Structure formats: C-alpha cells, structure tokens
C-alpha cells in the first residue's frame, strides 16, 4: 500500500488519511478521492494532501475486516457489515460466550495491521450484545495477510452456547440459629440469578444438616424433573467427608471437585447424581454479588461441561474482592487494643405482633423497653449511641428524653428491617472502627455483654464480626467491622444481615453467653407478660 503526501491532482483514487478543514472545505478522513474532491481541494487552496492507495496485491480495510469477522463467527454469532475498517460481532441469542483464546492470539499475531478483540470467555451474554470486533489499523492490508488471518479464524470460531437447563431444584439444610427468612432470601436471590438464563426453581426442599436427611431430598428433586440440583448448606462444606459430599456419594454419585481458586467462592462443590449435575453452593452464593459460584453455574446452565481443569484454571482473575480478614490500609482500623465502636439501636418498627401498642414504649420495671436498651448501651464502651426511629418517632424520642443519644429518623421504616439498618449505619461517625447493632426490644442485653463483644472485636486478628452464642445458637446484638458497612448498606427488605454472617464465616468471633439475654426479644403481649413476671 502506498502512503504519503501528494498534490490534489495526484490524489485521484486515494483515500484521505487525515480530515481536512480549510476555507470552508470539510473532507473527512477515509474519503475516496474523486474528480469533484480534487476540484474542491484546489478551490480551497490545498496544496498537498496525505493519501493511502492500495497496491495490486492489497485488499481494503472493510473487505479485510469483514472477511475475518465472517470466518471467526460460529453458532449464535451475527456479523455487522464492515465500516471504516471495523466489523463488529454480536450475540444472536442469549447464552455463554465460548472463545478459543489460542485462535484469538493467532489472529492477532498474523500482523500488527489486523486486530481482534472479544469479551471475556464464558461471559453470559444476551441477544444483540456486542461480543467482539475486528479492526484493521491501516486503510488496507496485503491479501496474503488477510488470508492468513481468515485461516487462523476458521480454526477456532467463537460461538454463543445457548442456555439449555431450565429446571433447577434447591435443597437448603438447616441448623439451629438459621432463620427461615435467610433461606427465603437465598431462594429469591437464586431465582434472580437463574432468570437471565430462562431457568427457574421448580421445587425446593428444606432438611436437617445431615447426610441421611439430605440424600433423599436430592433424590426427590431429581424425581420431579430437576436438571440441576443446588445445595445451600446451613454450614459451609469443610471437607470431602462433610455432609454434602457424603450425601452425594451415598446416592452413588460422584464428587468431581471440591474447592476453587476464586474468592469469594472457595468452598464450592461440583458433582453429579444419576447424570444430574449437583452444585454445593459456597456461603457467598446467598449474596447477589458476583462470585465463583456464578462462573460455574452459568456454564452449566448452558450445558457446558465444567471439568476439574476448568475450575483449577480460574485462579488468574479469581480474586473478585478483598479478603475481609486481611488488613486493608485503605480502611482506617484502630490499632490492637484500641476499639472505637458505635452502637446502633433499631427502634423504628410498627410492632405488628403486639396487636396495636408500640412494644418499644411498653414498660418493664417502670421504664420503656427502648429506654432500657439505650441506657445499657450508654453504660457500655460503645460510643456514640444512635437510635433509629420511624413508627411513632415522637413518642419514642420522648421515651428517650434526657439520654445522650443521637436520634436518626427512618422515613422508610415500613420497607422493612434493612431500611433501618442502613439509616443507622449511615449515621455512624467516620472515625468508628465498627458498630454494634442492637434491637430496641431486647431489654436483657446489658452493658457487660456489649463490652465483652467489643473486647472480642479484633480487626488485626481477623475478628471482624462478633456474635453472642449459647448452645450453638447465635443471637443478638451483632458487632460489625466498618469493612462490612458497604454490604450492610446494600441490604433490602425485611431480612436483616444474617446471611452475611454465614457468607463471611472466617471473620466471625463468638462470645459465649448464659441465659436468655441474647435471645429474648419482646414481640407479643404474652412475651411482655412473661418478662414482667420474671
């Protein structure tokens, strides 16, 4: 290809390399110069113009781009007509993008003039989404280079594998302390995950966290037509001999791989029973945030085989978020022995189970419940004490009169518990390392318990979430490191943050308690009467 400056008379048949704007003339880059253009150039006083002109053995940029794009497009891929040396490729259907990386590299190594870029391999795509582009850098290339790129493209076509699995069954195992609403939230999140693939949950089972109970539940789901079984354990899988893998093997199934080099998502299990794929979900799969579970799930929904080698090859790019137990310089955390913890008291609810009266204003030993909770928080190490109000906010504020608390009104309290958590967390001072979230209807939580939890809070040692425990059952309040504030602010509805505790099990410290202090929340008139008698 010839390239360089020429006079207007010599430019005939050439392509403009640069846009020209002079004396009212506008000639765009890439214009094929004709006789009329030459006259216009002369009239505008242009003496010299840089053009590119194809030699006999060259092909134009558009022809080259279109040829390579057509050659590399496989099943489920459509090609846009080339323009200005670029040909874009699009998904013709929803599915998973399958790319041969070696083929992409071979195309790009033919010559610097020819480039080919794609979305990440195995990315879920929707119909009409742009998935790749071929761009020719100069205005033309030698025909032999175009032919070499076309040959490289044909040996590794990209395709969109359509989603095939539509019927999904889910088993949730149960242990004391796992609230039903956590499972309900997990089902909702999973249904939203499956929706883009056109898949849905056809049945779900809830069973004890025991291999003898889990195995028949898996069989039941397969019997009703599940093409994929997902298992959400009440406790994370710790070993190949744990409950979930044991149940799979008890059914004559096979555990193909346990663990993956993707974080979050490490504790995922891949197996099958009666040729039906089974995924043991990691705790992070309860969250809608992208994690390693998504990478495997979406491939399987497209009917793509996921091998041990596929999973072990996910390490590069597999760190999807910072590990919360690792010190993070960007987040100021007090040094060991120095703990700056705020208290957030949730006191915005409507007390619907009380049948009318606001339970927070009910008196116990002559004091409103919410005042008892606030006084204990004020007597602890926690500071400041923030009270989130909503329903009957003026009356609640009056019950707290004279106390050195910060009142934060939540106008959206009717949306559910999450709205109050977010209102309280947003009011925590920037200097605080964390916040202990207390419930306004738990009058037995005293300053000593709060102080013990603050003492157990140790960011430098990875104790970033602190919960009270009795007999293996977790209660309230819960102390959260500031590192989890973004996740608390992303909560929705009336579920609270229990699923985050399961998701970040490695960051949890437990404080053993005796009695009912961490478990007695007064929700009904009967419970209030019992508390008064006690």
Helices (H) and strands (E) in the chain, counts: 16, 30
The H or E element that residue 278 is part of is strand 276-281
Q: What integer is the mean pLDDT of 18-22?
A: 85
Higher per-residue confidence, 504 vs 183:
183
Report the pLDDT averaged over residues 149-174: 97
Among 140-149, 489-498, 507-516, the minimum mean pLDDT is found in 489-498
What are the pLDDT digits (tens) for 44-58? Answer: 898 888 877 888 889
Residue ranges and CATH numbers for the domains of the chain are 2-53 (3.90.105.10), 58-162 (3.90.1170.30), 167-312 (3.40.980.10), 341-525 (3.90.550.10)
Classify the phi-psi angles of 225: left when phi > 0, otherwise alpha if psi is within -120 to 50, otherwise beta. left
Cα–Cα nearest to 311, from 302, 301, 300: 300
The stretch 421-432 carries a mean pLDDT of 94
**Angle between the N-to-C axes of helices 447-456 and 369-378, in degrees from 0 to 180, rounded to the nearest 10:** 50
d(CA 242, CA 240): 6
The stretch 295-309 carries a mean pLDDT of 96
Tokens for 72?
Answer: 């590399």
- Whether 33 and 51 have beta carbons less than 8 Å apart is answered as yes
Cα 358 from Cα 204, distance rounded (Å): 37
Task: Please tell me the pTM assigned to this model.
Answer: 0.66
Report whether 65 contacts 30 (CB < 8 A): no
Q: Is the pLDDT of residue 284 over 60?
A: yes
- What letters, b where the CB count within 10 A reaches 16 and e where it falls short, cover 163-198? bebeebbbbbbbeebbeeebbebbbebbeebbeebe
């Amino acid at each position: 290809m010839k390239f360089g400056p020429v006079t207007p008379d010599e430019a005939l048949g050439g392509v403009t390399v640069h846009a020209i704007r002079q004396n009212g003339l506008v000639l765009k880059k890439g214009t094929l110069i004709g006789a009329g253009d030459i006259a216009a150039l002369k009239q505008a006083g242009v003496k010299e113009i840089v053009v590119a002109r194809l030699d006999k053995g060259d092909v134009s940029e558009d022809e080259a781009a279109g040829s390579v794009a057509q050659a590399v497009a496989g099943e489920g891929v459509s090609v846009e007509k080339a323009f200005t040396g670029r040909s874009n490729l699009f998904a013709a259907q929803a599915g998973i993008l399958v790319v041969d990386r070696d083929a992409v590299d071979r195309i790009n190594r033919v010559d610097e003039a020819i480039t080919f870029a794609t979305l990440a391999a195995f990315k879920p795509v929707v119909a009409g989404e742009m998935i790749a582009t071929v761009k020719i850098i100069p205005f033309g290339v030698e025909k032999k280079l175009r032919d070499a790129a076309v040959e490289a493209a044909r040996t590794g076509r990209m395709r969109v594998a359509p989603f095939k699995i539509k019927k999904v069954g889910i088993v949730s195992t149960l242990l004391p302390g796992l609230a039903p609403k956590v499972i309900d939230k997990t089902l909702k999140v999973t249904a939203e995950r499956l929706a883009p693939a056109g898949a849905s949950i056809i049945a779900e089972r809830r069973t004890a966290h025991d291999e003898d109970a889990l195995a028949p539940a898996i069989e039941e789901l397969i019997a009703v037509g599940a093409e994929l079984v997902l298992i959400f354990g009440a406790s994370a899988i710790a070993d190949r001999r744990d409950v979930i893998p044991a149940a799979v093997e008890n059914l004559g199934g096979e555990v193909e791989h346990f663990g993956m080099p993707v974080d979050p998502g490490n504790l995922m299990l891949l197996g099958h029973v009666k040729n039906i794929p089974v995924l043991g979900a990691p705790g992070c799969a309860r969250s809608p945030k992208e994690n390693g579970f998504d990478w495997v799930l979406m491939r399987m929904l497209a009917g793509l085989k996921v091998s041990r080698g596929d999973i072990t090859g996910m390490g590069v790019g597999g760190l999807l978020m910072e590990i919360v137990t690792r010190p993070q310089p960007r987040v100021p955390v007090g040094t060991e022995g120095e703990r700056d913890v705020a208290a957030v008291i949730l006191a915005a609810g409507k007390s619907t189970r009380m049948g009318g009266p606001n339970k927070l204003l009910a008196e116990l030993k002559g004091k409103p419940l919410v005042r008892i909770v606030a006084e204990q928080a004020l007597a602890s190490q926690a500071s400041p004490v923030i009270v989130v109000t909503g329903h009957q906010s003026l009356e609640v504020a009056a019950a707290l009169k004279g106390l050195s608390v910060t009142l934060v009104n939540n106008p959206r309290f009717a949306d559910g518990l999450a709205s109050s958590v977010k209102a309280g967390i947003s009011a925590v001072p920037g200097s605080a390392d964390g916040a202990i979230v207390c419930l306004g209807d738990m009058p037995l939580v005293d300053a000593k318990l709060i102080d013990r939890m603050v003492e157990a809070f140790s960011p430098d040692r990875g104790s970033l979430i602190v919960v009270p425990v009795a007999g293996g059952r977790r209660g309230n309040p819960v102390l959260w490191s500031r590192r989890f504030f973004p996740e608390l602010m992303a909560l929705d509805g009336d579920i609270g943050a229990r699923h985050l505790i399961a998701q970040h099990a490695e960051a949890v410290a437990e404080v053993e308690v005796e009695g009912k202090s961490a478990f007695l929340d007064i929700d009904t008139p009967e419970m209030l009467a019992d508390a008064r008698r006690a």
